[in-house]
Structure 1
Amino acid sequence: MQVLTRPWGAMHFADHGPQDGPAVVFANSLGTDLRLWDALLPLLPPGLRVVRYDKRGHGLSDGSGAFSIADLADDAAALISALGLRPVVFVGLSIGGLIGQSLAFRHPEVLRGLVISNSAAKIGTAESWQARIDAVQAGGLGSISDGVMERWFAAPFRATPALAPWRNMLARSPAEGYALACGAIAAADLTADTATLRLPVLVIAGSEDGATPPDLVQATARLIPRAAYHCIPGAGHLPCVEAPAAHAALITTFLKDIAHV
């Protein structure tokens, strides 16, 4: 296992592909770990250097005290620097999309392009996130798992046995790390920062996304001049799970368009 030591502890990551290949860095959603991308990665063009990591309090990374989206962006920048990567394409889903936007604003030199998937410049309200935190602190992640599955996945996927591992991944996540990440999302409004971005950006939504609906995602795309926007029909909040071929095709086209393959 690969680990980067940060001031707050160990950050687990995975680094695969040719060391001199164009690098793509993937950031996971709330309540998942780097296995989120397992079905998508084999569908990407060969020759890429693919880096995934577990943010604070998720997967095999250590937890920390309270943190912000800016702190998470700084963690991503530190990983890119530590691995000696040339400017990368950063693919962020949900909270990962918030991290990507903050990374592009705070550390533009490390990015060649940005994919914002199922995310927005501002997600939810402080009140809604506090209610989520309160529920987790009172009853654990298992108490909210069914409701989260309804927001994550379209009904056909929820009716299959494939749902169980994702519910288990969420329910077994560290509750403290999850709650702290909820607090970071609650405090984040990146609207002004995101409107200043001028790098190549692809924004992806899922038509059945109950966490970041297409209209919310598209509104963020409209903040960024020349950003491309696509909505995957029938997909929910995690299209890399429900519709990996469609998700990979959009990312591949973007990589080709900006000559990052």
Structure 2
Amino acid sequence: MSFAYVDGLRLHYRIDGAERSDAPWLVLASALGADVTMWSPQIAAFSSRFRVLRFDTRGLGCSDAPPGPYTIEQLTDDVLGLLDALTIERAHFCGLSMGGLIGIALAARHGERLERVVLAHTAARLGTPDVWQARARQAREQGVRSLADATLARWFTSAFAAREPLVLAATRDAFAHMDDEGYASNCEAIGAADLRAEVGAIRAPTLVLTGRADPSVAPEHTRMLAEGITGARFVQFEAQHLSNIERDGDFTRTVLEFLSGPS
């Protein structure tokens, strides 16, 4: 395993990719409750063209889980610190759900570090504080495992779950082993983040993706995000929340075409 220390925090990361030292970087940021394995369906294709950096958000996966609550500023600073630790000046960025929220903040506040941006299944305001406070409380009092069934029902359609039981089991296993406090503290970061006034500051070429049946982030909210970013492209898949897994071929192809397209 590879770890970087950012302001005393140990962040777990993986690098896959093109052997050329001049290949562009692509950073992948995961959903709440997922770790670096969430991106497994994309790695072969992405790493053939990019040096791919994926990481576990603080509190999740194999990264440290310091006491919370966390903030969106901390989460973005973690990414910037990781880039600095690996001497990466600029990169493409692809984030899904909470990873997309981090991407919005990075693109709006630190656009000089980003080339192109993919924001999937996210919005500038994700839900309401009371929803996230309730989820954080459940994680602390009953454990993250108590949230697994409801979460996976939002992530995948029932048809996909029935068709791909091994994928579902692996995803559930990663989720169930999240640190209770780390998960709860990330819930609080999401609940406190409101980036609606900052979206207009994004200048990087942006692709916004959603699932037509996404119950976690309503497609109309994701469309509003796209409409607030000058020149953003908007694409919908026939999926729920984790389209990078449920519609992995479509997701991968769409992202690669965007990242490799003309300026």
1:146 partner amino acid: D
Provide Cα deviations, 1:9-44, integer angstroms capped at 9, x if missing partner: 210111122332111000011001001100112133
Residue 151 of structure 2 corresponds to: 148
Quick one: distance in 2 between partners of 1:196 and 1:155? 38
Residue 64 of structure 2 corresponds to: 62
Residue 77 of structure 2 corresponds to: 74
1:239 maps to 2:243: yes
Residue 210 of structure 1 corresponds to: 215
1:243 partner amino acid: R
Residue 219 of structure 1 corresponds to: 224
Q: CA RMSD in A?
A: 1.4
Name the % identity. Answer: 36
* Residue 102 of structure 1: how far off its partner (Å): 0.8
* Residue 74 of structure 1: how far off its partner (Å): 1.0
Quick one: distance in 1 between partners of 2:193 and 2:53? 25
Q: How many residues align?
A: 258
* Residue 208 of structure 1: how far off its partner (Å): 2.0
- Work out whether residues 23 and 86 of structure 1, in 8 Å CA contact, stay in contact via their aligned partners in 2: no
Quick one: distance in 2 between partners of 1:258 and 1:193? 26
**CA pair 238-194 structure 1, distance change in 2 beyond 3 A:** same
Structure 1 residues not aligned, in runs of 5+ = none
1:87 maps to 2:59: no
Identify the range of structure 1 (245-254 vs 8-17) with the bigger mean alpha-carbon deviation: 8-17
Provide Cα deviations, 1:155-180, integer angstroms capped at 9, x if missing partner: 11222413111112111111111000
Provide Cα deviations, 1:170-218, integer angstroms capped at 9, x if missing partner: 1111111100000000000001111221110000001121111211111
* Residue 258 of structure 1: how far off its partner (Å): 4.6
Residue 139 of structure 1 corresponds to: 142
1:256 maps to 2:260: yes
- Work out whether residues 205 and 214 of structure 1, in 8 Å CA contact, stay in contact via their aligned partners in 2: yes
- Note the 1:167-178 alignment, pairs <5 A: 167-178=172-183
List structure 1 segments (4+ residues) > 3 angstroms apart after TM superposition.
none
1:54 partner amino acid: D
Q: TM-score, normalised by structure 1?
A: 0.95
Tell me the secondary structure at the aligned position of residue 93 of structure 2: strand
Quick one: distance in 2 between partners of 1:255 and 1:49? 13
Quick one: distance in 1 between partners of 2:4 and 2:262? 29
Quick one: distance in 2 between partners of 1:258 and 1:52? 25
Tell me the secondary structure at the aligned position of residue 188 of structure 2: helix
Tell me the secondary structure at the aligned position of residue 195 of structure 1: helix
Residue 115 of structure 1 corresponds to: 118
- Work out whether residues 43 and 245 of structure 1, in 8 Å CA contact, stay in contact via their aligned partners in 2: no
Structure 2 residues not aligned, in runs of 5+ = none
